[in-house]
């Protein structure tokens, strides 16, 4: 044992050297003009294998793994922090500039209405898919054993549920409007992103109204917004260029800290969840095809965003990537792209607000004598899920937040949300990627329907 402890610093240094070599490989691939998507995929695969390579010889909870990840994840944490810092100014500035470019305020209403309707409709579909998968696998909350971590999580969830119980639909609607914009720019509330979007829209509308009274002032304000938007987008491109390295670090941590025994114990729930996620990805592709969009091109061009969402588990952090990809790679109008990326992070999340709470509700319902497949239960569940999807935080743990609103509204206990804590990160990765795919799909179809869409092939041909 003393010898093993003496070797820990040496092993730690070797681990860091190996990770530095992996980082250097990604850099070399960039120098060889590999596309961002290929480098992100490479970083995801290498990070997963490297994380498993750390866990297998040392075992879960090893101080060597903890010490290695403390430094390995520095790059990942910095990358996510930069993206989070970018969200609020990007949403605000882009929203103002986008509104100023809209000739009619009615057009903005059409954009927002179309995006929200698509998000809610696909969330309702996701809920039904979750119900079907849960029933098909015969999943139930009965027999699940509460461990120490689960009991601690249940206590925390109970406290959160008490706070949510007083939040009526009317209160939720009021929370969409900022009372202190600086508080929302700092992301202090679960509805901060929606509040920033609405504030930006109102400022943009004020600019449009000023243009009718004082064209000179309106022209100056429009030029200012365009310059600010150009700068913030260039900053976003600099950060997006770091995505392969961020994914490498995030995936290394995720795979190195995964608990294999917990996953095996709840393998049925994991498989059902990912099958439901796969079905919804297929549904997105079908909707795009029916809308006249090449689904294969869509997914090939959005792959880097989905990979980041998968590894970071944050729909909100993916907003800058999503908006840039929609405008530069998919040919979506900036107004539509910003609305879809921003609203999609807090409204109608197909994975976190649709599939997950539906699966939990179906698992819990039999324990309190309710038939989860009855028409009344299903209709009520879908309606509750659609309403509850408003304002769900687009960060890790957002699915638990959604479950804490849906289960009590259905008269069901919330303990199951704590019992699944062991596999929560693993499933949350796929759910988050689905959330982001849904928002970009909504933006693409909205842009197509409103005649504000430039096909990807045309975009690629016109790119320098």
List, run by run, the mean pLDDT of 10-residue segments along the chain (464 residues).
Answer: 59 87 90 80 85 80 83 85 78 76 66 89 95 89 50 46 53 80 81 78 84 80 83 79 84 76 68 95 96 93 89 81 88 86 82 90 84 88 82 59 72 64 74 93 92 66 44
The sign of the CA dihedral 440, 207, 87, 316 is negative
Supply the pLDDT for residue 163: 47
Name the nearest CA neighbour of 406 among 421, 424, 384.
Answer: 384
Structure tokens at 123: 């969330």
Per-domain boundaries in the chain: 2-462
In this structure, what are the phi and psi dihedrals at residue 452, rounded to the nearest 5 degrees?
-120, 35
Bridge partners for 453 per DSSP = 332
Q: If you ran DSSP here, which 8-state letter would residue 104 be given?
A: -
Q: How far apart are the first and last CA of the chain?
A: 60
Phi/psi for 292 (5° steps) reads: 85, 20
Name beta bridge partners: 332.
Answer: 453
CA 306 vs. chain centroid, Å, equals 9
According to the CATH classification, is domain 2-462 in 1.10.3860.10?
yes
Q: Which residues contact 229 (CB under 8 A, 6 or more apart)?
A: 93, 94, 97
Q: Are 89 and 232 contacting, i.e. CB atoms less than 8 angstroms apart? A: yes
Q: How many C-beta neighbours within 10 Å does residue 363 have?
A: 24
Length of the chain: 464
How many CB atoms neighbour CB 75 within 10 A? 18
């Amino acid at each position: 044992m003393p010898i093993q402890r003496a070797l820990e610093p040496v092993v730690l240094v070797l681990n860091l050297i190996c990770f530095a070599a992996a980082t250097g490989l990604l850099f070399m691939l960039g120098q060889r003009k590999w596309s961002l998507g290929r480098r992100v995929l490479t970083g995801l695969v290498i990070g997963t294998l490297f994380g498993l390579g750390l866990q297998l010889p040392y075992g879960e909870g090893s101080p060597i793994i903890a010490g290695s990840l403390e430094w390995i994840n520095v790059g990942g944490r910095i990358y996510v922090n930069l993206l989070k810092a970018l969200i609020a100014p990007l949403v605000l500035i882009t929203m103002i500039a986008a509104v100023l470019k809209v000739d009619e305020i009615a057009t903005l209403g059409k954009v927002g209405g179309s995006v929200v309707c698509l998000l809610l409709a696909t969330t309702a579909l996701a809920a039904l898919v979750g119900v079907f998968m849960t029933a098909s696998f015969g999943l139930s909350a009965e027999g699940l054993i509460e461990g120490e971590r689960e009991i601690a999580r249940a206590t925390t969830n109970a406290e959160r549920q008490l706070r949510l119980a007083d939040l009526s639909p009317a209160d939720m609607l009021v929370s969409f409007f900022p009372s202190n914009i600086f508080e929302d720019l700092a992301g202090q509330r679960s509805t901060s992103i929606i509040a920033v979007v609405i504030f930006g829209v109102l400022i943009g509308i004020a600019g449009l109204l000023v243009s009718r009274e004082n064209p000179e002032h309106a022209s100056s304000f429009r030029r200012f917004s365009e310059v600010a938007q150009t700068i913030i987008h260039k900053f976003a491109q600099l950060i997006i260029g770091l995505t392969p390295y961020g994914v490498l670090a995030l995936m290394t941590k995720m795979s190195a800290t995964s608990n294999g025994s917990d996953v095996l114990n709840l393998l049925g729930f994991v498989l059902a969840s990912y099958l439901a996620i796969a079905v919804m990805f297929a549904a997105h592709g079908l909707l795009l095809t029916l809308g006249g969009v090449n689904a294969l091109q869509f997914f090939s061009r959005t792959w880097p965003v989905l990979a980041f969402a998968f590894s970071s588990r944050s729909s909100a952090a993916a907003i800058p990537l999503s908006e840039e990809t929609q405008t530069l790679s998919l040919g979506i109008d900036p107004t539509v792209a910003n609305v879809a990326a921003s609203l999609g992070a807090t409204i109608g999340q197909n994975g976190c607000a649709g599939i997950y709470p539906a699966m939990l509700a179906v698992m819990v319902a039999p324990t309190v004598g309710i038939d989860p497949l009855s028409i009344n239960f299903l209709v009520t569940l879908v309606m509750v899920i659609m309403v509850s999807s408003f304002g769900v935080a687009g960060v890790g743990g957002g699915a638990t937040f959604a479950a804490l609103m849906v289960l009590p509204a259905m008269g069901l206990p919330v303990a199951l949300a704590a019992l699944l804590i062991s596999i929560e990160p693993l499933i949350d990765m796929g759910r988050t990627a689905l959330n982001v795919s849904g928002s970009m799909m909504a933006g693409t179809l909205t842009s197509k329907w409103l005649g504000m869409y430039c096909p990807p092939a045309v975009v690629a041909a016109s790119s320098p």
